[in-house]
Amino acid sequence: MRMEAASPSDDEYVDWIQARSSEPTGAALPVPDYANIFFHRLWPTVIDYFSPVPSTFLVQCLNLEQLNSRPEWIVRDGRIPLSHFFKAHPEPRGLKAKVYVEATTTDAVPAAWSENTGTYRVVSSQPANPSLHCILAATGSAEFQSQAELLRFLESVRLERAREVSLFVPALFRDFSFHCEYRIQLDRHFNRPESLEWLQLVAKSSFKDCEAIEINNRNICADNFMTHVLLSRGAGFTEQILPHERYVPLSPYHGYALNPRPEFSQKKFVSYEKEPLFPWADWFQKWE
């Protein structure tokens, strides 16, 4: 089954990303004061967008009853905040809603949550094309991708060194020294890659002549707004819809692929004990 690209004029395929909010907060749940620190340090990856299935960060959710306000949720958190959430809520007591976590983060989901949890992937109708101009959407932070992970990633996707490449790599957490080292690695790998700023990225109306590649280990933010911007404007992408998945369009060119009954990873993620960049204990103390 191959998802065909819809015409931008199709009423069924509204561009939800274009209609996004401009503030870096959750779409449908209130934002506690402690979560504001989290969101502002992760901008622009956590920028809100509207969706037929509401998206949120569980870092905003202080009690499970809040989730019962909607039948389904797209959960944007990565493994680390997910693991803290599930530590505070080891069982979905009283929960009627279904939460969808990003497909590669099921190692953070406890077995007791399997009936209430599905998975999602962000997919595109535009297939990846190695002949296209490539845009790498990354974040210059060790929490998103260490330098060692970056080198392994570049090898795994087999990007040609001579390929025309643009980089969008915002510095997060004020970790500027790491950001510079990260950029040096990318500059060495490619032949004079172009650097894109945020305003350049959002100002461009079409990326149909580009392929989007996201560099993200899914530990902090599993659903990156930067990728949605590229895909909603026609960029090619490796992730495509599969026959057993339910498609939820976000734009004429991309959407969610939902799996309500996934297989969960048997190897469970263990959150870091000490994280100098993230004072989780302080932010999530109300959960304990």
pLDDT one digit per residue (tens) for the chain, 288 residues: 334 333 334 445 678 887 754 443 444 688 877 777 778 778 888 888 889 999 999 988 878 999 999 999 999 999 888 988 888 899 999 999 999 999 999 999 999 999 999 999 999 998 887 777 888 887 766 666 777 777 787 777 666 655 688 888 876 655 667 777 777 777 777 767 888 888 888 888 899 989 998 888 888 899 999 999 999 999 999 888 888 999 999 999 999 999 998 988 777 776 554 454 455 545 454 444
Tokens of 285: 């103390």
Domain assignments of the chain as residue spans, ordered by start: 33-124+242-283, 133-232
Instruction: Give residue 175's pLDDT.
Output: 61
State the Cα–Cα distance between residues 259 and 117, nearest whole angstrom: 9
Instruction: Give residue 161's pLDDT.
Output: 53
Sheet holding 98-102, edge to edge: 55-56, 72-75, 98-102, 117-124, 254-259, 246-249
Under 8 Å between Cβ of 161 and 190: yes
Instruction: Give residue 168's pLDDT.
Output: 85
Tokens of 214: 């996201």
Instruction: Give residue 12's pLDDT.
Output: 58
Helix, strand or coil, per DSSP, at residue 256: strand
Instruction: Give residue 164's pLDDT.
Output: 81
Number of neighbouring beta carbons within 10 Å of residue 191:
11
pTM: 0.84
Instruction: Give residue 34's pLDDT.
Output: 73
Under 8 Å between Cβ of 252 and 7: yes
For residue 117, the cross-strand partners are 99
Instruction: Give residue 9's pLDDT.
Output: 41
